Structure 1
Amino acid sequence: MSMTKLRLGPLPRTENLKLTFTCPASLKADLERYAALHSQTYGEEVDALTLIPHMQEAFMARDRVFRRTNTQSCTGNL
């Protein structure tokens, strides 16, 4: 295993739901490169499609406005 750490750590086991995802070819290439680096870093083979929901979840978790809106909607303070 490499000593390099990626922003997206090892993937947890989850229950999956199928969605359709459309993106530009350049983003697909970037996702495939990231998946290869993730596989190399953590020693477990993973493809780009597996990474997308984890990357999106991490992105939304760091979005302050989304978190604040989500917290307000849960308490009824929109």
Structure 2
Amino acid sequence: MKLAKLPDRTPVKMNVVLAPNLTKRLREYADFYAETYGSREEVADLIPFMLEAFLDSDADFRKGSKKRHESTGSRLNPLL
């Protein structure tokens, strides 16, 4: 079968405490998102995508993750 087994897609809820300045910046980012795309999204809805984009753009993290998973035989992302 060419299609790999689908990963677990069960959402995990996490609670975090943010500094007031970061909260302000996240709200400003949500405002900027609304100006850019013409639709308002809640900060809490944007954060998972922001974190994923950050992790995907971190080349050192990707390289380290790939090396760790190759040594254990697991595959984090088959496209890496």
When normalised by structure 2's length, the TM-score is: 0.68
State the 4+ residue runs in structure 1 displaced beyond 4 angstroms. none
CA–CA separation in structure 1 for the residues paired with 2:67 and 2:38? 40
Q: Which has the higher contact order (CA 8 A, sep 6+)?
A: 1
Task: Provide the identity percentage.
Answer: 28
Change in 2 beyond 3 A, CA 1:45/1:19 = same
Change in 2 beyond 3 A, CA 1:50/1:15 = farther
CA–CA separation in structure 2 for the residues paired with 1:48 and 1:65? 27
Alignment of 1:39 onto 2:34: yes
- Larger gyration radius, structure 1 or structure 2: 2
The correspondence of residues 27-66 of structure 1 with structure 2, limited to 5 A, is 27-66=22-61
SS at match of 2:54: helix
Change in 2 beyond 3 A, CA 1:15/1:47 = farther
Q: Gaps (5+ residues) in structure 2?
A: 1-8, 73-80
Q: Gaps (5+ residues) in structure 1?
A: 1-13
